[in-house]
Amino acid sequence: MTGLLIAGASPYGEEPADILVVDGVIAALGPDAARDERAADGEIVDAAGLVVLPGLVDLHAHLREPGREDAETVATGSAAAALGGYTAVFAMPNTDPTADTAGVVEQVFRLGEQAGLVDVHPIGAVTVGRRGERLAELAAMATSAARVRVFSDDGDCVSDPLLMRRALEYVKAFDGVIAQHAQEPRLTQGAQMHEGEVSARLGLTGWPAVAEEAIIARDTLLADHVGSRLHVCHLSTAGSVQIVAAAKQRGTRVTAEVTPHHLLLTDSSAEGYDPVFKVNPPLRTPADIEVLRAALASGVIDIVATDHAPHASQDKETEWDNASPGMLGLQTALSVVIATMVEPGLLDWRGVARVMAEAPARIGGLDDQGRPIAVGEPANLVLVDPAARWTVRGEDFASLSRNTPYEGMELPGRVVGTYLRGRCTASAGVVAGVQV
């Protein structure tokens, strides 16, 4: 039996160590690995100077299939994910048809298996058609081949408090979680960007922070009442951080995510009216960013999730009011986290592993992802060159869409290789043998 020897990489940026992978599992680690006879005639990857982390796990991505295969497919989204260092991705259900039945979630799950680049875990819709009227068949999705554990109407809020209560009650039976897109619809009718000084100047209808905070306050109280798990998607305001912190303090079963774009970009980006910066929830203020970064460092915010939202050019390259909200994220997330959290000293590599792999796997109920780099664990790994810098070119992305807000920006840190159960899925910008 031959193995794969990843030689000289630094697990979590610490002391360099050799890693021997046999049959998709870490078989030896450290000085023993290179001496192991199974390393003798296997492949050797020279990883000196590279950091090795657990393969990244994205709890929030839009892969658009079925229905909008012109914007993204499960296969192209999987390729973008592998290139971004991910080994597992959760796919949001705002597809056409909506992923609100066992049939559709199984379809997405199988497409993920066929692409074979990352583990694709469908998220099920909370309500039928995401219309917020009645609960979807959550148990049927949970017991399907896709074994759905995360449910969300993302793109829209489950705004009816009774439906939200029932959903929380329902998923308790199988330790599922409701991932809420926190947006009070009445407070955000026609909203185009963060409500503040910039929106007033630009004459765009504002999306006030309180529209997010009111729902998070309500839902943490409902989660207390029901004793169930709530996950808050894409936290974007300082006030939301306060509410989640207070809930955690009193023992609420709540977790929260922040996106890379909410850690880096502000509402001033809207000044050129370029819809590539239109996103929901909207980009906020520098003061919000500071609080979000601190909360991610302290653990009040548990994870980084991309909210990768590909849009075809006809939906995005139009006037601001009519453009679809959302931005690409999978191929830039790690670099943006390095720029916003690692370089300023807010997170070390252990911290990056925690917020981008370990915690998202735990929240999503995966027991074979986000695992420690240790003997006996599945070899889901990402090699990162921490010294590299690169310039973002949307046209080079594996994604079918081009709506990156980082076009032309130089970012730190480069994914050099991604391994799914010991198999290389992306290497130096090339995915599974195909140049993209």
Which of 326, 329, 364, 417 contacts ligand DOR by CB under 6 A? 326
Which of 18, 65, 154, 358 contacts Zn ion by CB under 5 A? 154
> Taking the complex as a whole, how short is the minimal distance between the CB of residue 24 and ligand DOR, in angstroms?
33
Q: How many residues in the shown chain lie near Zn ion by CB under 5 A?
A: 3
Selection from Zn ion, ligand DOR, none that 360 binds (CB < 5 to 8 A by kind) is none
> Taking the complex as a whole, how short is the minimal distance between the CB of residue 423 and Zn ion, in angstroms?
32
How far is the C-alpha of 137 from the C-alpha of 134, rounded, in Å? 10
275 touches ligand DOR by CB under 6 A: no
Selection from Zn ion, ligand DOR, none that 414 binds (CB < 5 to 8 A by kind) is none
Q: What is the dihedral of CA 169, 175, 176, 181, to 10 degrees?
A: 70
How far is the C-alpha of 412 from the C-alpha of 116, rounded, in Å? 28
181 touches Zn ion by CB under 5 A: yes
Going across the sheet that includes 150-151, the strands are: 150-151, 177-180, 229-232, 254-258, 303-304
Token duo for residue 138: 């959550």
261 touches ligand DOR by CB under 6 A: no
* 8 Å CB contact between 384 and 412: no
Token duo for residue 203: 């004459």
DSSP assigned state of 133: S
Phi first, then psi, for residue 24 (nearest 5°) are: 80, 5
280 touches ligand DOR by CB under 6 A: yes
Kindly tell me which of 326 and 364 has the beta carbon lying closer to ligand DOR: 326
154 touches ligand DOR by CB under 6 A: yes
Query: Which of the ranges 48-56, 114-122, 246-254, 323-331 carries the binding residues for ligand DOR, by CB under 6 A?
Result: 323-331
253 touches Zn ion by CB under 5 A: no
Selection from ligand DOR, Zn ion, none that 62 binds (CB < 5 to 8 A by kind) is ligand DOR
> Taking the complex as a whole, how short is the minimal distance between the CB of residue 154 and ligand DOR, in angstroms?
5
Kindly tell me which of 212 and 358 has the beta carbon lying closer to ligand DOR: 212
Kindly tell me which of 22 and 279 has the beta carbon lying closer to ligand DOR: 279
154, 219, 307, 385: the catalytic one is: 307
Mask for 45-84, x = binds ligand DOR (CB under 6 A):
-----------------x----------------------
How far is the C-alpha of 168 from the C-alpha of 432, rounded, in Å? 40
Query: Which of the ranges 20-28, 50-58, 95-103, 320-328 carries the binding residues for ligand DOR, by CB under 6 A?
Result: 320-328
Q: Report 158-217 residues binding ligand DOR (CB under 6 A).
A: 181
Task: Examine residue 161 and say whether the peptide bond preceding it is cis (omega within 30 degrees of 0).
Answer: no
Please count the other Cβ atoms lying within 10 Å of the Cβ belonging to residue 16. 17
Q: Count CA atoms closer than 13 A to 221's CA, side-chain side.
A: 8
Region for 251 from its dihedrals, namely left if φ exceeds 0, alpha if ψ lies in -120 to 50, beta otherwise: left
Residue 219 annotated in active site: no
Which of 21, 216, 276, 309 contacts ligand DOR by CB under 6 A? 309
Quickly list DSSP for 63-103. Answer: --TTT-TTT--HHHHHHHHHHTTEEEEEEPS-SSS-S-SHH
Mask for 84-103, x = binds ligand DOR (CB under 6 A):
----------x---------
Question: Which residue number is nearest to ligand DOR in terms of Cβ?
Answer: 326
> How does 342-361 read in b/e, with b if 16+ C-beta sit within 10 Å?
beeebbebebbbbbbbbbbb
Please count the other Cβ atoms lying within 10 Å of the Cβ belonging to residue 184. 18
Q: Report 208-247 residues binding Zn ion (CB under 5 A).
A: 233
Residues forming contacts to ligand DOR in the complex (CB under 6 A) are: 62, 94, 154-155, 181, 279-280, 309, 324-326
| Residues contributing to the site for Zn ion (CB under 5 A) | 154, 181, 233
The residues annotated as belonging to the active site are 307
